[in-house]
């Protein structure tokens, strides 16, 4: 029987009386002995399999009563986007146009197959986030435009993309064309769309347009009316451009909603360095790394396995915690993307220093523990000690062991 990382599924199937379980790339295959001439038994087998695997469908079943199962496909949904608009000018009246710009963009992007969060949903999202994350109370919205908090804000709102639009320039200039005075209104816009998982920009554009108006018409008129016309033109052009490109924004590796990442530590590297002197099956060596290394990996407060190991989760920001007895816990907020690798340097804790006196002595005892664990499995260890030295353990000089600590 091959091992599967889905331990809970294995235990469930075993409890159901199933004999064989093996993991496949496309799903899980479950098999047991069958009497081909008893169709009622085959029907009961199908019912047991489905009962033991909620959320899955039987893909196929053969005469040997071997059923292949795969996760039920999730219904496709249009990606969500949150739009933020900022007026960076001091032009009178433009602040009053910001909400209208956002509403017009929402209407344009709805035609591009994007679900746009309304203002109430965004406000609620910020409120919930600030209640649970004190550290983000200050400067969160401004962080959207500076790029420092794009991933965190996107996850907070539950969107796939953030769109940040800025009115970066609005001015008017008077000149003469022939013998006629002309007033030219100029509007400059900037837009960027960031992916929620990576924070990377998937779309960006700078836009400048001018609208010449006879001075007689512009005199005494409300200038915001002319800027509003330019904003209408920009919204239409930006909406058309985004609609044409949005389908190519998200890489296929992220479309599935899962990103694979790996974690390894300096303790794991110590254990792996011993393997050159050991002849044993790969699965036994992997077991020794987990047993002697003893490093636990937690994601968002839940244990997901041991290091070294590969894991998967939704892309974006997560709390990653790596711990081991006698070592200082390592915990960071990390941005997990497809293929990310985290190499964690673990150090002795205060209790660990009292126990081992130094990191070298910890390594020495780890080598001894590794050799003893293999010996209990009936595997002979043959370390080449030519390049290693003796390290004293404890206060008595006679307590020494030969270790794999390099000179």
pLDDT of 244 reads 83
Range from 57-71, 94-108, 338-352 carrying the lowest mean pLDDT: 57-71
For the segment 334-350, the average pLDDT, to the nearest whole number, is: 89
pLDDT of 328 reads 93
Residue 129 — pLDDT band, cuts 50, 70, 90? low
Strand order in the sheet with 180-195: 115-116, 80-87, 161-177, 180-195, 201-214
> Which two structure tokens, joined as six digits, stand for 230?
């330019």
Query: Rounded distance, CA 116 to CA 163, Å?
Result: 10
Ranges 194-198, 238-242, 286-290, most confident: 238-242
Ranges 50-54, 67-71, 75-79, 302-306, most confident: 302-306
Does position 231 have pLDDT exceeding 90, yes or no?
yes
Fold of 80-250: Rossmann fold (3.40.50)
Range from 107-111, 209-213, 359-363 carrying the lowest mean pLDDT: 107-111
The b/e string for 177-202 (b: 16+ C-beta within 10 A; e otherwise) is: eeeeebbbbbbbbbbbbbbbbbbeeb
Query: Rounded distance, CA 297 to CA 331, Å?
Result: 10
Q: Is the model more confident about 64 or about 57?
A: 57
Q: Is the model more confident about 227 or about 50?
A: 227
pLDDT of 337 reads 81
> What are the C-alpha distances in Å from 110 to residues 157, 166, 190, 341?
18, 20, 20, 37
> Which two structure tokens, joined as six digits, stand for 37?
């001439």
Does position 353 have pLDDT exceeding 80, yes or no?
yes
Question: Rounded to 5 degrees, what are φ and ψ at 257?
Answer: 85, 0
Ranges 113-127, 144-158, 161-175, most confident: 161-175
Does position 195 have pLDDT exceeding 70, yes or no?
yes
Query: Rounded distance, CA 218 to CA 231, Å?
Result: 18
Residue 346 — pLDDT band, cuts 50, 70, 90? very high
- DSSP state for residue 223 in the 8-state scheme: H
Q: In the chain, pLDDT over 70 holds for what percent of residues?
A: 70
257: left (phi over 0), alpha (psi -120 to 50) or beta: left
Does position 62 have pLDDT exceeding 90, yes or no?
no
pLDDT of 262 reads 93
pLDDT of 167 reads 92
What's the number of CA atoms in the CB half-sphere (13 Å) around residue 184?
10
What value does the mean pLDDT of the chain take? 74
Range from 229-233, 280-284, 381-385, 391-395 carrying the lowest mean pLDDT: 391-395
Does position 159 have pLDDT exceeding 50, yes or no?
yes
- DSSP state for residue 149 in the 8-state scheme: S
pLDDT of 77 reads 66
The b/e string for 18-32 (b: 16+ C-beta within 10 A; e otherwise) is: beebeeeeebbbbbb
pLDDT of 341 reads 93
Residue 261's closest CA among 301, 302, 318, 199? Answer: 318
Query: Rounded distance, CA 335 to CA 313, Å?
Result: 11
A 10 A CB-CB count for 296 gives 17
Ranges 30-39, 125-134, 219-228, 392-401, most confident: 219-228
State the helix-helix crossing angle for 150-157 and 119-132, rounded to 10 degrees: 110
Q: Cite the DSSP H helix spans in 62-118.
A: 98-110
For the segment 220-239, the average pLDDT, to the nearest whole number, is: 87
Every domain of the chain and the residues it spans = 7-71, 80-250, 259-406
Q: Is the model more confident about 75 or about 1?
A: 75
Q: Cα-atom radius of gyration of the chain, to the nearest Å?
A: 31
Overall pTM surpassing 0.85 (yes/no): no
Express the helix, strand and coil content of the chain in percent, nearest 5 each.
40, 35, 30
Q: Are 363 and 284 in contact (CB under 8 A)?
A: no
Query: Rounded distance, CA 150 to CA 164, Å?
Result: 10
Query: Rounded distance, CA 230 to CA 257, Å?
Result: 39
pLDDT of 323 reads 93
> Which two structure tokens, joined as six digits, stand for 122?
């965004």
What's the number of CA atoms in the CB half-sphere (13 Å) around residue 43?
3
Question: Is the preceding omega at residue 308 within 30 degrees of 0, hence cis?
Answer: yes
For the segment 178-199, the average pLDDT, to the nearest whole number, is: 86
Query: Rounded distance, CA 117 to CA 136, Å?
Result: 21
Contacts of 171 (CB under 8 A, 6+ apart): 91, 185, 186
pLDDT of 264 reads 92
pLDDT of 160 reads 84
Using alpha carbons only, what angle is made at residue 195 by residues 133 and 302, rounded to the nearest 5 degrees?
45
pLDDT of 60 reads 67
Query: Rounded distance, CA 279 to CA 358, Å?
Result: 30
Q: Are 133 and 125 in contact (CB under 8 A)?
A: no
DSSP-assigned letters across all residues of 331-386:
EEEEEE-TTEEEEE---B-HHHHHHHSSHHHHHHHHHHHHHHHHHHTT--B----T
Does position 25 have pLDDT exceeding 70, yes or no?
no
Q: How far is CA 95 from the centre of its chain?
A: 36
Residue 258 — pLDDT band, cuts 50, 70, 90? confident
Q: Are 174 and 183 in contact (CB under 8 A)?
A: yes
């Amino acid at each position: 029987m091959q091992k599967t990382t889905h331990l809970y599924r294995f235990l469930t199937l075993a409890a159901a009386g199933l004999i064989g379980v093996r993991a496949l790339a496309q799903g899980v295959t479950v098999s047991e002995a069958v009497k081909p001439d008893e169709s009622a038994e085959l029907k009961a087998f199908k019912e047991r399999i489905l009962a033991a695997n909620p959320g899955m469908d039987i893909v196929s079943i053969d005469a040997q009563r071997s059923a292949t199962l795969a996760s039920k496909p999730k219904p496709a949904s249009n990606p969500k986007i949150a739009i933020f608009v900022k007026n960076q000018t001091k032009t009178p009246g433009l602040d009053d146009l910001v909400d209208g710009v956002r509403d017009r963009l929402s209407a344009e992007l709805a035609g591009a197959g994007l679900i746009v969060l309304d203002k109430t949903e965004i406000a609620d999202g910020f409120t919930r986030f600030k209640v649970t994350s004190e550290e983000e109370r200050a400067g969160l919205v401004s962080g959207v435009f500076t790029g420092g908090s794009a991933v965190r804000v996107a996850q907070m709102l539950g969107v796939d993309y953030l769109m940040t639009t800025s009115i970066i320039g609005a001015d008017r200039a008077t000149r003469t064309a022939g013998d006629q005075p002309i007033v030219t209104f100029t509007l400059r816009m900037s837009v960027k769309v960031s992916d929620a998982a990576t924070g990377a920009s998937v779309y960006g554009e700078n836009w400048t347009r001018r609208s010449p108006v006879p001075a007689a018409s512009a005199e005494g008129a409300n200038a915001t009316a002319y800027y509003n016309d330019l904003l209408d033109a920009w919204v239409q052009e930006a909406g058309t451009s985004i609609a044409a490109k949005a389908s190519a924004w998200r890489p296929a590796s992220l479309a599935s909603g899962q990103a694979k990442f790996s974690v390894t530590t300096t303790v794991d590297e110590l254990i792996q360095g011993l393997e050159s002197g050991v002849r044993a099956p790969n699965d036994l060596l992997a077991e020794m790394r987990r047993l002697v290394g003893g490093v636990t990996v937690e994601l968002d407060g839940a244990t997901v396995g041991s290091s070294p190991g590969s894991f998967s989760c939704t892309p974006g920001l997560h709390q990653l915690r790596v711990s081991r007895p006698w070592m200082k816990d390592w915990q960071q907020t990390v941005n997990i993307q497809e293929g990310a690798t985290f190499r964690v340097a673990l150090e002795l804790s205060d209790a660990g220093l009292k126990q081992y006196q130094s990191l070298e002595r910890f390594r020495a005892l780890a080598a001894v523990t590794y050799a003893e664990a293999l010996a209990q499995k009936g595997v002979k260890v043959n370390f080449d000690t030519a390049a290693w030295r003796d390290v004293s353990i404890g206060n008595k000089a006679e307590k020494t062991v030969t270790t794999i600590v390099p000179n």
